[in-house]
């Protein structure tokens, strides 16, 4: 399975955000998308998810040599500011989500299995989601996308608000998920991307560039990347 991005460009009025981007994302990998705040990472995700119109280019999904347009139905999107039904408890929300999507979910597990995956304790399962922390709400976002088993998973700064222990739990879950998925993980934290991701991409001055991960072990190369991020216009 592959997602193929060809000649993707996006502008807002006279402001060019993405320019002639070409890249192929492959199944079984977590891609780290690095860029400063405002570099266009969310715009790139919104283009993949059909949330915005693009100026030019194509985005396609290739499965077993069969190619079609990538659509939002193929994508699970975890945004940086989590949106959950705050009037429900976590358990009510999870049961409701499974019920309305049961025709699309293969091998539905017991609800305790899912909560164990993201280490949400029983006493927290009966709390209203409005009383969840930002990080706990992000856990629920990641969990429902795990259950729905979307082919492509877009993660827009989902771990930034989590403490170190919870971050580690989420990293383990994402590494487990990558086997049958394409995961693109956006962050402005270089160390987080290098720890979690198989491939590192930098969005810099409207262009997308693949960075050899092995080069990040050298101080000179890391300094060069940090400088390039500071130079974003």
SS3 127: coil
pLDDT per position as a tens digit, 3-13: 999 999 999 99
**How many CB atoms within 10 Å of residue 229?**
17
Q: DSSP state, 51?
A: S
Which of left, alpha, beta for 154 (phi over 0: left; psi -120 to 50: alpha)? Answer: beta
pLDDT per position as a tens digit, 188-227: 777 778 888 899 898 888 999 888 766 666 666 666 666 6
pLDDT for res 167: 77
pLDDT for res 233: 45
pLDDT for res 65: 86
Which spans in 24-154 are helix H? 41-48, 90-100, 111-117, 122-125, 134-148
For residues 117 and 139, what is the distance between their CA atoms, to the nearest angstrom?
10
Domain 2-83+152-230: CATH superfamily is: P-loop containing nucleotide triphosphate hydrolases (3.40.50.300)
Point out the residues of the chain with pLDDT beneath 50: 232-233
Residue 102 and residue 94 in contact, taking contact as beta carbons nearer than 8 Å = no
For residues 123 and 145, what is the distance between their CA atoms, to the nearest angstrom?
23
Residue 25 and residue 178 in contact, taking contact as beta carbons nearer than 8 Å = no
Predicted TM-score (pTM) of the model is 0.85
Residue 98 and residue 111 in contact, taking contact as beta carbons nearer than 8 Å = yes
**Residue in 187, 84, 83, 171 with CA at minimum distance from that of residue 119:** 171
pLDDT for res 232: 47
């Amino acid at each position: 399975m592959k997602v193929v991005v060809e000649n993707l460009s996006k502008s807002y009025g006279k402001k060019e955000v993405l320019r002639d981007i070409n890249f192929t994302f492959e199944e079984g990998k977590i891609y780290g998308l690095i860029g400063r705040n405002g570099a266009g990472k969310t715009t790139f995700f919104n283009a993949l998810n059909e949330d915005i119109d693009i100026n030019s280019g194509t985005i396609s999904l290739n499965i077993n040599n069969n190619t079609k347009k990538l659509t939002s139905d193929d994508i699970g999107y975890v945004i940086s500011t989590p949106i959950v039904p705050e009037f429900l408890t976590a358990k009510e929300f999870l049961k409701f989500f499974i019920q309305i999507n049961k025709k699309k979910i293969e091998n539905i597990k017991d609800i305790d299995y899912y909560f164990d995956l993201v280490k949400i304790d029983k006493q927290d399962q009966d709390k209203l989601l409005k009383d969840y922390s930002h990080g706990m709400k992000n856990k629920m976002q990641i969990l429902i996308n795990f259950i729905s088993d979307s082919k492509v998973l877009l993660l827009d700064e989902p771990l930034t608000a989590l403490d170190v222990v919870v971050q580690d739990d989420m990293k383990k879950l994402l590494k487990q998920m990558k086997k049958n998925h394409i995961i693109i993980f956006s962050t402005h934290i270089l160390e987080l991307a290098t720890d979690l991701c198989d491939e590192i991409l930098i969005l810099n001055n409207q262009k997308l560039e693949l960075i050899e991960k092995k080069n990040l072990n050298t101080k000179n190369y890391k300094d060069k990347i940090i400088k390039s991020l500071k130079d974003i216009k």
